[in-house]
Amino acid sequence: MNSSGAPHDAPAARRFDTVQFVAKYAAPLFLLALVLVFALLEPRFLHPLNLFNVLRQVSIFGLVAIGMTFVILTAGIDLSVGSLLALCGLVGAYVAKGGLADRFAVGASVDAGNPAVLALAAAIAVGMLGGAIQGTAVTRLKVPPFVVTLGGLTVFRGAALLFSGGGPISGFAPDYTWWGQGKIGIVPVPVIIFLAAALIAHIVLKQTRFGMHVFATGGNEAAAVRNGVPTRRIVFLAYVITGFFCGLAGFLLSARLSSAEAVAGLGLELTVIASVVIGGTSLFGGIGSIVGTVVGACLIGVLTNGLVLLNVSSFVQQIVIGIILVSAVAFDQFATDRGQA
């Protein structure tokens, strides 16, 4: 007993835990710190044009990160997202151009073969098909997700190269490029799509039965099965959802660049997984949020943009992102172990 008559361990139970606080809010705190540092080091960083450019860049890989969140929450992984994005972008471009006959046409010579909406639908359909194939291999054939998606990484990239003959498809009509370059008011269209998708995904995960099943499957699959959760279907749908976002992002990227290439999305896997994990989603499944993923994606975007403005080598950028990814996972594991101690 202490002088007030309360047990000695009562204050300790209510003592502020710095490690747990940092573990919970590390991503937004680090994002705020990066913004302040880059604003002080480079005045151009806070210019509205630069900030919108950051958001436009984030929106592409951020969409894929939203899909990846579903997969990682089920304790899975998808290493094929960059390759699938490239294939989807090429298919969308092919449909928009109506074939490969005028694949290099630009300017006034561009003659759209099909409406942009049809190209978008085709890109998303290919993405969902790719996700469904991988989801089937994981759930039905019992092949580990790492192996399945590692194979998908090479298969989809090879399919993209075969489909395009190794060359780009470029030059699109205005109704196509609007999706990647247009604005509604002062906000770029891809940013609006990204934020809308994040809001919908957040509601799905937090307010629906499917979302609860996703968390249950990743948290303890055996217990989820005993409680009637269709874990096999949940995992399958998680990969289909990721495929959907790969298709959408592939279409937006080709519209933004006015070009679709088989080499698009190289290294995207690292950026996407880093965004999800840095945002607080556990690689072991069952813990995470879409809000965290959005913050993680913005953090990666701000970091990359700030380093570019400071003329830091792109090689160094990859090293920094890799170190941050490993550090985030290590700190998350440390905080978990400490909380269980």
Structural domains of the chain sorted by starting position, each given as residue range(s) with its CATH number in brackets: 46-331 (1.10.3470)
Question: Backbone dihedral region of 230: left (phi > 0), alpha (psi from -120 to 50 degrees) or beta?
Answer: beta
- For 115, half-sphere exposure in the C-beta direction (CA atoms, 13 angstrom radius) is 3
- CA 126, distance to chain mean position in Å, is 18
Is residue 217 within 8 Å of residue 74, measured between CB atoms?
yes
20 has a pLDDT exceeding 50: yes
With H, G, I as helix, E, B as strand and everything else as coil, classify residue 115.
coil
User: In three state form, how does the secondary structure of 286-309 look?
Assistant: CCCCHHHHHHHHHHHHHHHHHHHH
Q: How does pLDDT run across 184-196, given as a tens digit for each residue?
A: 999 999 999 999 9
Q: Does pTM surpass 0.85?
A: yes
* CA atoms of 235 and 215, how far apart (whole Å): 11
Query: What is the distance of C-alpha 244 from the center of its chain?
Result: 12
Cα distance between residue 90 and residue 100, in whole Å = 11
> Measuring CA to CA, which residue among 67, 65, 63, 73 is closest to residue 214?
73
Instruction: Supply the pLDDT for residue 112.
Output: 54
Alpha-helix residue ranges (DSSP H) falling in 74-144? 81-97, 116-139
CA distance 235 to 141: 13
Segment (H or E) for 260: strand 259-260
Rounding to the nearest 10 degrees, give the CA dihedral for residues 160, 67, 59, 301: -100
Lowest mean pLDDT: which of 51-60, 253-262, 306-315? Answer: 306-315
What is the rounded average pLDDT of the residues 35-49?
A: 90
- At residue 58, does pLDDT exceed 90? yes
Inter-residue contact 324 to 278 (CB < 8 Å)? yes
- What is the pLDDT averaged over residues 164-178? 89
The pLDDT of residue 314 is 80
In this predicted model, what pLDDT tens digit does every residue of 62-82 receive, in sequence order?
999 999 999 999 999 999 999
**β-bridge partners, 105:** none
pLDDT tier for residue 107 given thresholds of 50, 70 and 90: very low
Terminal-to-terminal C-alpha distance of the chain: 24
Buried b (16+ CB within 10 A) or exposed e, 102-126: ebeeeeeebebebebeebbbbbbbb
Length of the chain: 341
**Sign of the CA dihedral with 165 first, then 81, 325, and 25 last:** positive
Confidence (pLDDT) at 319: 87
Task: Answer whether 81's CB lies under 8 Å from 269's CB.
Answer: yes
CA distance 294 to 124: 21
Can you point out the beta strands (E) in 52-204? 169-170, 183-184, 187-188
Q: Please tell me whether residue 166 adopts helix, strand or coil conformation.
A: coil
Question: CB atoms < 10 A from the CB of 219, how many?
Answer: 17
